[in-house]
Chains A and B, each alone.
Chain A
């Protein structure tokens, strides 16, 4: 082959390698950046007066005076809307039955959107579900609803070759010439005066309980559940893993039995996470009955088994990386093997062992499949420490799935889902970051 071609091939080979690394970095960014920007929206957003009402009524946050003043501010604008609605209802009474029927369903849609924006319309019975007791709490959602109010969404099926196209027709056209026609320009012009959007820093998203299946409120129950499950798993797995690692590095002889144990360890590391869930269900709950049904304890035990191989491997590596000289010096001073391990090897290996522990903690916090059948519930209150032996808990990982895939209003509460994903990723990545930094520190120190 020509020398020039060989050079080109060599260069492009390098380019392919570097591109693949860059692609991985890009993949990381592509996944993390939208989640980050979306998740921030759960905490920083333009909150309406309805948000402040909920905060005051349910969590006693904010001041009565301010809220009263703002309610007084918005009331005249809202009254005007209700007046227009009343006027149209009165008009409808005088219409022909056919015409009235025609308007009725269209009018109901308008009324529903107004109620969704501003809260229950005066004169209606008090709704039972919390989600109908308040209007829209977030300004960007209010703008979406306003768009729904202003325009009817229609689909164009005229071209059977292509997918149907969406187009909008002004809703005011449907009510042209009636009393209701005045509502649309009025709402468009005065919506901000009816809702008073303010830039809100909603720290309570992380520390408050959820209200009405996450339609309002925060995610504290999930954060706490994740914490219980991950820490519980560590309580079981960490001591076991470190002891097993000591055995493998200091005591095990190279024989068939040891190689079987090592194989078992890598087998356990390769078991699909959902199979851990099946095992947890069949063993911890159905066979030895650590609890009557799902519980934090059963979930923690299942997670502990899952992270055990990782902890053992990390601890083994940490122990093996302690320089031989340390051990020989200790032995040379006459201390026993066990004393050498306890006083010399373990302290030197400890940062490395902890690094492995932190990474496993992150893994336990993020894993979903093992806790589906053993510990997680979709809606639940926060539980106390004493309840962990008997009660299931909501957890970030499970609730992200649940809210995104199974919640009845999954599209309405995207901000909550993003907030949860961001919280989970932040927890896991921070744990990993601290592990990476700790490791860098340790390897520098061991090198001297």
Chain B
């Protein structure tokens, strides 16, 4: 027994660290943390490098040509001698497809996010999430191939019918819903029970008739449209909206989830339906997070290259009239991708630098919108946590 204690005592001595050992440990710890910090700062350094190296190649362009031509002229003839570098039409094209994709993806994405967070039971949600992940995972060039080889010919050959069907399917339900609501609102005041009911039915019927005429008229107008080229802004906007959807859905769902149960339960307790709870209580509380989601989704569409390069038609002009989505356009990203092949041989020329100027424009834009969306999310988190 005595021996055992003695050996035990010896062992425990080994656990007491000598000052020298402690110092060595502290140094190792210091170096280790230093390495970790260095690696973590690597990302920040890369961001700085990206800004620096894109700007360094972009600045010579602005030195030689100034800002006015680039931002105000629509003449894009970089290969001519002397070249013209008016990027207005190209910037407009980028904005146009981004707006178009946002118009499709934002309502769809937000309603999908609401459905995922508040409507669907958990078991169904588990199957819906992978669908969104798959949609996000498909490479952009595959979407581009789909847009160019499959969708563009369809749009060219059956453009009118496709537009008409889309109109009926999308606008139809909403218009009839509006008819019911308006009929109710108009008759909600005055009169007694049975009389009011009859007035309402008649009024709703009349409104429904007018609505059907309206739907039919627009549908026929759309049906008569002939799409000359399937590679146009509409095609690109639609495909880009597929690509922006996953971002919008997942970020807005996070933000909807962050709204506490108490708010929802309070609203239900006051007798609101689920729709009313979501629209009047949950959405306002989550609005800033949803705004951040929209900004991120829009950035995804603006920065996308392959789809617009393959399926936008790449013609540098502002469509006539300005909202004509059936016209070909050209975007910043597609111009960079398409022109660098030729401009690369003339490194140092204006043709080369103008592409970096476009890259810088995209970079600055994405940087600002990232900062904004980050601020918004932080602020929402603070408000919701009650600070």
Size of the B side of the interface (Cβ < 8 Å), in residues, is 96
Chain A 347-367 interface mask (CB, 8 Å, partner B; 1/0): 000000000000100110111
Size of the A side of the interface (Cβ < 8 Å), in residues, is 92
Residues of A within 8 A of B304 (CB): 272-273
Residues of A within 8 A of B342 (CB): none
* Least distance between A244 CB and chain B CB atoms (Å): 4
Identify the closest chain B residue to A401 (Cβ): B141
Contact status B337-A372, CB under 8 Å: yes
Among A240, A278, A281, A425, max chain B CB count under 10 A is at A278
Partner of A17, one of B33, B114, B184: B114
Partner of B44, one of A20, A261, A365: A261
Among B111, B150, B276, max chain A CB count under 10 A is at B111
Contact status A366-B139, CB under 8 Å: yes
A-B pairs with lowest CB-CB distance, top 9: A366-B139, A272-B303, A17-B115, A13-B275, A264-B44, A247-B40, A10-B273, A369-B305, A247-B36
**In this assembly, does A152 line the interface, its C-beta being within 8 Å of a C-beta of chain B?**
no
Report the Cα distance A432→B139, complex, angstroms: 12
Residues of A within 8 A of B207 (CB): none
Partner of A24, one of B49, B135, B333, B370: B135
Given that A5-B184, A274-B336 are known contacts, is A21 also in contact with B362, CB under 8 Å in the complex? no
Report the Cα distance A242→B24, complex, angstroms: 26
Residues of A within 8 A of B286 (CB): none
* Least distance between A369 CB and chain B CB atoms (Å): 4
Report the Cα distance A147→B276, complex, angstroms: 62
Among listed B2-10, B51-59, B62-70, B320-328, interface-contacting one? B51-59
Contact status A273-B355, CB under 8 Å: no
Contact status A16-B111, CB under 8 Å: yes
* Least distance between A218 CB and chain B CB atoms (Å): 18
Contact status B359-A251, CB under 8 Å: no
Query: Which residues 168-190 in B have Cβ within 8 Å of A in the complex?
Result: 173, 177, 180-181, 184-185, 188
Among B53, B228, B366, max chain A CB count under 10 A is at B53
Can you identify 5 A-B contacts, CB atoms within 8 angstroms? A24-B135, A275-B303, A366-B142, A424-B142, A432-B134
Report the Cα distance A309→B44, complex, angstroms: 11
Contact status A162-B226, CB under 8 Å: yes
Among listed B75-83, B125-133, B259-267, interface-contacting one? B125-133
**In this assembly, does A331 line the interface, its C-beta being within 8 Å of a C-beta of chain B?**
no
Query: Which residues 349-387 in B have Cβ within 8 Å of A in the complex?
Result: 355-356, 359, 362-363, 366-367, 369-371, 374
Residues of B within 8 A of A162 (CB): 226
Report the Cα distance A403→B37, complex, angstroms: 45
Report the Cα distance A269→B131, complex, angstroms: 22
**In this assembly, does A283 line the interface, its C-beta being within 8 Å of a C-beta of chain B?**
yes
Contact status A35-B142, CB under 8 Å: yes
Contact status A264-B134, CB under 8 Å: no
Contact status A246-B36, CB under 8 Å: yes
Report the Cα distance A431→B309, complex, angstroms: 27
Report the Cα distance A273→B33, complex, angstroms: 32
Query: Which residues 256-274 in A have Cβ within 8 Å of B in the complex?
Result: 260-261, 263-274
Partner of B149, one of A23, A369, A404: A404
Residues of A within 8 A of B43 (CB): 244, 261, 264-265, 268, 308-309, 312
Partner of B39, one of A247, A277, A372: A247
Report the Cα distance A264→B40, complex, angstroms: 10
**In this assembly, does B340 line the interface, its C-beta being within 8 Å of a C-beta of chain A?**
yes
Query: Which residues 148-167 in B have Cβ within 8 Å of A in the complex?
Result: 148-150
Identify the closest chain A residue to B299 (Cβ): A270
**In this assembly, does A252 line the interface, its C-beta being within 8 Å of a C-beta of chain B?**
yes
Contact status B274-A10, CB under 8 Å: yes
Contact status A18-B115, CB under 8 Å: yes
Contact status A261-B40, CB under 8 Å: yes
* Least distance between A30 CB and chain B CB atoms (Å): 8
Contact status B333-A417, CB under 8 Å: no
Chain B 88-114 interface mask (CB, 8 Å, partner A; 1/0): 000000000000000000011101101
Contact status B366-A271, CB under 8 Å: yes
Residues of A within 8 A of B199 (CB): none
Contact status A14-B119, CB under 8 Å: yes
Contact status A13-B278, CB under 8 Å: yes
Partner of A432, one of B128, B137, B275: B137
Residues of A within 8 A of B115 (CB): 14, 17-18, 20-21
Residues of B within 8 A of A372 (CB): 337, 340-341
Identify the closest chain B residue to A17 (Cβ): B115
Report the Cα distance A20→B111, complex, angstroms: 7
* Least distance between A26 CB and chain B CB atoms (Å): 10
Contact status A279-B49, CB under 8 Å: yes
Residues of A within 8 A of B141 (CB): 366, 368, 397-398, 400-401, 421, 424
Report the Cα distance A405→B42, complex, angstroms: 38
Given that A17-B114, A421-B142, A429-B138 are known contacts, is A248 also in contact with B40, CB under 8 Å in the complex? yes
**In this assembly, does B46 line the interface, its C-beta being within 8 Å of a C-beta of chain A?**
yes
**In this assembly, does A127 line the interface, its C-beta being within 8 Å of a C-beta of chain B?**
no
Identify the closest chain B residue to A245 (Cβ): B40
Partner of B54, one of A32, A278, A286: A278
Report the Cα distance A432→B130, complex, angstroms: 9
**In this assembly, does B289 line the interface, its C-beta being within 8 Å of a C-beta of chain A?**
no
Chain A 279-319 interface mask (CB, 8 Å, partner B; 1/0): 10111001100000000000000000100110010000000
Contact status B180-A5, CB under 8 Å: yes
Report the Cα distance A244→B46, complex, angstroms: 13
**In this assembly, does B85 line the interface, its C-beta being within 8 Å of a C-beta of chain A?**
no
Residues of B within 8 A of A367 (CB): 139-140
Given that A5-B180, A251-B36, A368-B305 are known contacts, is A274 also in contact with B148, CB under 8 Å in the complex? no
Contact status A252-B40, CB under 8 Å: yes
**In this assembly, does B216 line the interface, its C-beta being within 8 Å of a C-beta of chain A?**
no
Contact status B274-A274, CB under 8 Å: no
Residues of A within 8 A of B128 (CB): 21, 25
Given that A17-B119, A261-B44 are known contacts, is A274 also in contact with B242, CB under 8 Å in the complex? no
Query: Which residues 265-303 in B have Cβ within 8 Å of A in the complex?
Result: 273-276, 278-279, 296, 299, 302-303
Chain A 101-126 interface mask (CB, 8 Å, partner B; 1/0): 00000000000000000000000000
Residues of A within 8 A of B184 (CB): 1-2, 5
